[in-house]
Amino acid sequence: MTHFPGSPKLLRGGLVLIDAGNSAVRRVIALQYNPETMSRSFQVKGIEGEGGDRSQAMRLTGPPVETISLEADLDATDALEDGEATAAEVGLLPQLAALETLVYPAAADLKANDGRAAAGTLEIAPMETPLVLFVWGEHRVLPVRVAEISVTEEAYDPDLNPIRAKVSLSLRVLSVDDLGFDHKGGSLFLLHHEAKERLAGRAASGALGTLGLGGIP
């Protein structure tokens, strides 16, 4: 593919797995193609319910619960044409596995917990995964929990390895309410929150006249 000199570099969106304790990067999953659309929803946290204290009607109890949904396309066609060995052997299975294992505990942890249960351990702590960051440009680096993954395999090679697929991701943003202020993910969320406020400050405020008002009644 021919690129024009001086053309801007296209950034990729993706996911980064880090160690929450020391911030060491464990894996970077760059999306092969940036999705054309992404949906985000915000569930407000406030005081609700009839008969509540009216003084609480305009109060927020914490950051909203934000959910991000997107669909990623994967295609091994170019890699196959270039003679890439991994694509020729197993198609898209490695890329799919990298995404799917985000919602699996490590096999070693499963075995270790089974051993503890067999030894009579009364309480076994749930297994902790690496911290997942959703990265969509430098202004949006968010700690998330992968809530759901849906895979649609669309084409296969002669050995039934998928060579074209769509992956739908549902991500729940983790805030300081979920992780606390001292957790690495909590501090990253707070940085994002503060950056959002600065960006909001750069948006020009409209005039009441554009809304058909000469003043507030």
| Every domain of the chain and the residues it spans | 14-196
pLDDT digits (tens, 9 = 90+) for 10-56: 899 999 999 988 999 999 999 999 999 999 999 998 766 555 566 77
Examine the pLDDT at 78 and tell me if it is beyond 60. Answer: yes
Examine the pLDDT at 5 and tell me if it is beyond 70. Answer: no
Give me the pLDDT at residue 201, please. Answer: 93
Examine the pLDDT at 89 and tell me if it is beyond 90. Answer: yes
pLDDT digits (tens, 9 = 90+) for 106-164: 898 889 888 888 888 767 777 778 999 999 999 999 999 999 999 999 999 999 999 99
d(CA 62, CA 80): 49
The arithmetic mean of pLDDT across residues 97-113, rounded, is 91
Examine the pLDDT at 8 and tell me if it is beyond 70. Answer: no
The arithmetic mean of pLDDT across residues 52-70, rounded, is 86
Give me the pLDDT at residue 1, please. Answer: 45
pLDDT digits (tens, 9 = 90+) for 155-209: 999 999 999 999 999 999 999 999 999 999 999 999 999 999 999 999 998 899 9
Examine the pLDDT at 6 and tell me if it is beyond 70. Answer: no
pTM: 0.86
Give me the pLDDT at residue 217, please. Answer: 87
